[in-house]
Structure 1
Amino acid sequence: MDMLRKALERGLTPANVASWASLEAMRVLGVGFGTLRLRLKARLLGVELGRGVTAHGPVGLLRWPGGRIRIGAGVHLISSWRRATAACLAWPVRLRVFGPWASIDIGEGSELSGTSITARSTAVRVGRGVLVAPNCVIVDSDFHAPWPPEARATEPGMERDAPVTIGDHAWLGMQCIVLKGVTIGEGAIVGAGSVVTRDIPPRTLAAGAPARVIRHLGPEAGAHA
């Protein structure tokens, strides 16, 4: 409402009214239809949804029998460019577990934008209040054995899979890739376009390919991160 008040101060023109009305319509209708579709799909496929989970746009859910996908209370799943604030989305949110022991767990109050998470045989855990910016990919596997090369197409190399953990209130920038076996600490920030191949300590800023710690975050440093 504060934004509407500021818009009105600039003049109650037909164009301003139409712009505000179209934005509100996209927000209300998009989240209403997206959330309804998500809840129906989750019930059909046995995906656990907490209270107040919302979706804007389609969400891809693929659960292998015996696998587990849990989306905590108050999670926001953004799959539409109309709702994304920072950038267009390359794809909808996609959550997939491949095996009966695999699991994905999204903590309460987190927000995912066009995020692809795949747990092939272990677990991907996203903490509470985590922000995942547009077009990030998180995986627990290489999906092919690295050696011998002639067998890569046929050898799954599942023994190399390793779980991924993202701590509470971490923030992943746009187009990050988080690879198997990684832990990102509580409150950490990962810069846009980074490839995370090793652990990121809590309350640090990391960036690059591969991502490396740039500095520690605190009340003063965090304001300039």
Structure 2
Amino acid sequence: MRYWNKFTRIIYYLLNARNYKYLDFKSAVLFSVRVTGKKYITVKRNSMVQRQGWLLAVKIDEHEPEIIIEENCAIGDFSHIVAVRSVHIEKSVLMANKVYISDNLHSYEDISRPVIDQPVVFKAKVRIGSGAWIGENVCIIGASIGKNSVIGANSVVTADIPDYCIAVGCPARVIKKFDQELNKWVSVK
């Protein structure tokens, strides 16, 4: 695991594991990662959250929030994951740097108040399917990404992307799908 030696991983684990919902001994959350709401966060075996990231699980109502990062995931530098209900990152997901994932938005409907004074509202649960690849600077807000799908750099995802698709843009739209019969990626018109 890049930037992470065995001794540092052991120290982090010993200092923090009891505060997490679950932190696997063979996972790595770098010391520079800001973690808020550890008791709602699970990081499983061989997953790594790299430099300067932020994991934030915050309770805003009667629902318990959860962030689950399954096995063999790589979360890039400066990535920010926020859950008020559920963000679930399945096995073997690769995320580039500066990815933002959230299941919520700031309310803005009351124009008599600044947005900062309005409540955070739940949008939808987020699931990143196993084997997905999320490009640099991607924002995923209240949407799920299918298994083995690819989200191109700088995309903004606000609607679900199916399994085995490539999506790009703002808002993100599917440009290719994997055709099981042809056994190749085909363009979507």
TM-score interval (norm. to shorter): 0.7 to 0.9
Aligned residues: 178
Counterpart of 2:44 in structure 1 is 72
Match of 1:118 in 2: 82
* C-alpha distance in 2 between matches for 1:97 and 1:123: 9
Equivalences for residues 36-51 of structure 1 within 5 A: 36-43=10-17, 45-51=19-25
Change (3 A) 1:40 1:51: closer
Letter in 2 for 1:43: A
Partner of 1:133: 96
Structure 2: give runs of 5+ residues left out of the alignment.
none
State the structure with more CA Rg. 1
CA contact (8 A) 1:132 1:173 kept: yes
Residue 72 of structure 1 deviates from its aligned partner by 1.0
Gaps of 5+ in 1: 1-26, 80-91
TM-score by length of 1: 0.71
**How do 1:1-225 residues align onto structure 2 when only pairs under 5 Å count?**
30-32=4-6, 34-43=8-17, 45-56=19-30, 58-63=32-37, 67-79=39-51, 92-99=52-59, 101-114=64-77, 115-119=79-83, 121-142=84-105, 144-151=106-113, 152-158=115-121, 160-180=122-142, 182-217=143-178, 219-221=183-185
Q: Quote the sequence identity (%).
A: 25
Cα offset for 1:55? 4.2
Amino acid at match of 1:110: C
Residue 73 of structure 1: CA displacement?
A: 1.1
Q: Which one has the bigger helix percentage?
A: 1
The structure where strand makes up a greater share of residues is 2
CA distance in 2, matches of 1:36, 1:94: 21
Q: Which secondary structure does the structure 1 equivalent of 2:5 belong to? A: helix
Change (3 A) 1:44 1:60: farther
| Aligned counterparts of 1:78 and 1:145: Cα–Cα separation in 2 | 30
